[in-house]
Amino acid sequence: MNAPVNPKKLIKGGLHDWEVVIGMEIHAQVTSRSKLFSGAPTAFGAEPNAHVSLVDAAMPGMLPVINEECVAQAIRTGLGLKAKINLRSVFDRKNYFYPDLPQGYQISQYKDPIVGEGEVLVDLADGESITVGIERLHLEQDAGKSLHDQSPNQSFVDLNRSGVALMEIVSRPDLRSSEEARAYVTKLRTILRYLGTCDGDMEKGNLRADVNVSVRRPGEPLGTRCEIKNVNSIRFIGQAIETEARRQIAILEDGGKIDQETRLFDPGKGETRSMRSKEEAHDYRYFPDPDLLPLEFEQAYVDGLAGGLPELPDAKKARFVSEFGLSAYDAGVLVAERASADYYEAVAKGRDGKAAANWVINELFGRLNKEGRGIEETPVSAAQLGAIIDLIGEGVISGKIAKDLFEIVWTEGGDPRQIVEARGLKQVTDTGAIEAAIDAIIAQNPDKVTQAKEKPTLLGWFVGQTMKATGGKANPAAVNALLKSKLGIE
């Protein structure tokens, strides 16, 4: 919490430099078929109230029965966060009134959460890494959804989301800039997606953040914080923090003080504003839910789940660096999505790891980004890309032709080897043919030949002409060697 202050991360006010201190509560929807305490489905996009049981609607006499898979998912997530798993935890009622909360309370975990302290390693753009402490993770119910735009004086309530399991993941106030906060959420999302415990779909609200922001002069105690509720994209998290930090700095530099309150970020207006109505709601009167016994399991159960965990991003990244000789940066890019890492590994298997990484990151990801597609939608399979890389390695095609070949496979599909055969894309290694092309160019450009003896950089021009004359199929190494000897350049 009091790590050395990095001057680069300070925000310049009118009078002083300020340090921003950020902690986050992430609400992650648990991946499960049915809800936390009922057998109604969790799937997104159903007709209004179609995914609602009488338990979720809080009809009198209905009792909650816990979904074992949601418990397992919370434990897996805790293990992925290197956190302490509590073999005994307790469900409490958090009491407040809202139309999309039919019970009048949310079943949550207050004093005894299922997961205790852990940590997340976060890589930043400049190559620096920070460790963010996790305070706790607990299981709780999601609320329903209110629509306010259907009528001028009424709200429409849909309880489909009511009772879906959420994991609330609370970080320590270890973050010191909006960039760190964005990197933290990105990393947490990656871990959750690797674990398969939350799909991380922020557009559907399956991952959302409450952001606690305060500012202080470096070295001073923590300032009063404001909580920005329900920020639902990583970009908005960054913007909300910048906006809120500057608002607080302006107040403090004017001699004012910060009121601890809940605020809402409005991306359209680029401002945060007070949610006064939430203030009185802070008296939640938690007490243990009498409908539910404590949640207890054995260490052996936890160990069994630990044995079934996939290789996580940090471990995979380290392995890519040591096994394939990749840079930490490239390895980081490849492991950001499990599907990308799997694709890369299929391409790299039995091939040069660095070449495979270059092709996957520069050509494939570049092309996918351009078309706004994910790795799951790639038209070029790992086997096809592998074959292209093999053709370069075997000297059958040049790197330039390989890019054309990639484009053909992208748009038309097919076996790269057959395409090379059928369309005569093979690189010309026959020195006779290359020599003939070079001789013709030399004969046509006597002035350039004379100049080249004075100015060896003109070699590049001759290489270009030769490649053009051979349709890009001449072996570049052979072209270079032949040109040098014919032009008399060292």
Residue type, 346: A
Handedness of CA 364, 365, 366, 367 (dihedral sign): positive
Minimum distance between the CB of residue 296 and another protein, rounded to whole angstroms? 6
The yes or no reply on residue 55 touching another protein (CB under 8 A) is yes
Q: Which of 61, 152, 221, 307 binds another protein (CB under 8 A)?
A: 152
DSSP structure string for 432-487: HHHHHHHHHHHHH-HHHHHHHHH-GGGHHHHHHHHHHHTTT-B-HHHHHHHHHHHH
- Nearest to 246, CA basis, from 279, 254, 208: 254
* Cβ–Cβ under 8 Å, residues 353 and 326: yes
Of the CA atoms within 13 Å of residue 23, those in its CB half-sphere come to 18
Minimum distance between the CB of residue 208 and another protein, rounded to whole angstroms? 15
Of the CA atoms within 13 Å of residue 282, those in its CB half-sphere come to 10
The yes or no reply on residue 328 touching another protein (CB under 8 A) is no
Cα(183)–Cα(129) distance, rounded to whole angstroms?
10
CA 133 to chain centroid: 19
The yes or no reply on residue 275 touching another protein (CB under 8 A) is yes
Residue 23, beta-bridge partner list: 212
For tokens 């963010």, the residue is 132
Minimum distance between the CB of residue 157 and another protein, rounded to whole angstroms? 4
Minimum distance between the CB of residue 147 and another protein, rounded to whole angstroms? 7
Cβ-based nearer residue to another protein, 243 or 470: 243
Taking residue 82's Cβ as centre, other Cβ atoms within 10 Å add up to: 14
- What is the Cα gyration radius of the chain? 30
The yes or no reply on residue 148 touching another protein (CB under 8 A) is yes
Cβ-based nearer residue to another protein, 48 or 464: 48
3-state secondary structure of 335: helix
Minimum distance between the CB of residue 77 and another protein, rounded to whole angstroms? 16
Cβ-based nearer residue to another protein, 43 or 250: 43
The yes or no reply on residue 154 touching another protein (CB under 8 A) is yes
Minimum distance between the CB of residue 231 and another protein, rounded to whole angstroms? 14
Q: Which of 15, 84, 128, 147 binds another protein (CB under 8 A)?
A: 147
Site size with another protein, rule: CB under 8 A: 53
The yes or no reply on residue 399 touching another protein (CB under 8 A) is no
The yes or no reply on residue 76 touching another protein (CB under 8 A) is no
Q: Which of 95, 186, 239, 480 binds another protein (CB under 8 A)?
A: 95
The yes or no reply on residue 295 touching another protein (CB under 8 A) is yes
The yes or no reply on residue 51 touching another protein (CB under 8 A) is yes
Helix (H) or strand (E) holding 38: none
What the block records as the tokens of 108 is 């949550």
Q: Which stretch binds another protein (CB under 8 A): 90-98, 249-257, 426-434, 437-445?
A: 90-98
The yes or no reply on residue 98 touching another protein (CB under 8 A) is yes
Handedness of CA 402, 404, 410, 412 (dihedral sign): negative
Q: Which of 294, 395, 413, 471 binds another protein (CB under 8 A)?
A: 294
Chain residues binding another protein by CB under 8 A are: 32-34, 38-41, 47-55, 57, 65-71, 95, 97-99, 146-148, 150-159, 264, 275, 277, 280, 283, 285, 288, 292-296
